[in-house]
Amino acid sequence: MNYDNHLSEISSRLSIKANFLNEEECNKLIELFNDYESAMDRSMVYQNVGLNNDVGSYYSFEVTERKYPTLWKDIFKSKIYKGLEPNEVQLNIYLPGNFIPPHVDKGNNIYTITVPLQTHKENNLVFGNPQAYYDSIPVEESDKTGMTKSFTDIKGRGTIFNGIAPIHWVPKVDAIRYSAVIMYGI
């Protein structure tokens, strides 16, 4: 399939919200993750399969209002976006070498807001032509040529995308990466 125009097709669906989560909220979520012993190995369970049927390697667990009522009330209940409350949050952790291949999200999300829980300028969330990933083109180069648009990890900054169509990925990380994926559904 040809994805040459994918970035131009989705660019109007991408936006940024600085400080979507504050420092205290980010730290609280990292602490929760560090205390959580049964995170799912996403290379084995609920695999995030890429466009070429490759499988990502990272860990996650689900946060819902039912499972974590106090945390939900303290952090997520107030994270209204375009009149909607979040319906689910996935907390992800990537160890050095972990990644998510180019994929489109599953489900019925109207909006997704991905928030790094720490700043690390070498870790990125990338949108655009997946050929950049599969051809191992460095992110800086693929961004410069217009194949991709990447967002470096800045603690608390929300990267917002509409719908499930935008192709996105996390290249292999070289340092631990924590993120919250906040989903707004029907």
pLDDT digits (tens, 9 = 90+) for 11-52: 999 999 999 999 999 999 998 877 656 676 776 667 778 889
Q: How far apart are CA 119 and CA 157, in angstroms?
A: 9
Q: How far apart are CA 29 and CA 40, in angstroms?
A: 16
The reported pLDDT for the residue numbered 32 is 82
Beta bridge partners of 103: 168
Q: Yes or no: say if 75 and 29 are a contact pair by the CB < 8 Å rule.
A: yes
Task: Give the chain's length.
Answer: 186
Q: What is the mean pLDDT of residues 115-119?
A: 97
Q: How far apart are CA 158 and CA 114, in angstroms?
A: 5
Tens digit of each residue's pLDDT (9 = 90 or more) over 127-175 = 999 999 999 999 999 999 999 999 999 999 999 999 888 999 999 999 9
User: What does pLDDT average to over the chain?
Assistant: 91
Q: How far apart are CA 50 and CA 48, in angstroms?
A: 6
Tens digit of each residue's pLDDT (9 = 90 or more) over 74-114 = 999 999 999 999 999 999 999 999 999 999 988 788 999 99
Name the maximum alpha-carbon separation found in the chain.
Answer: 46
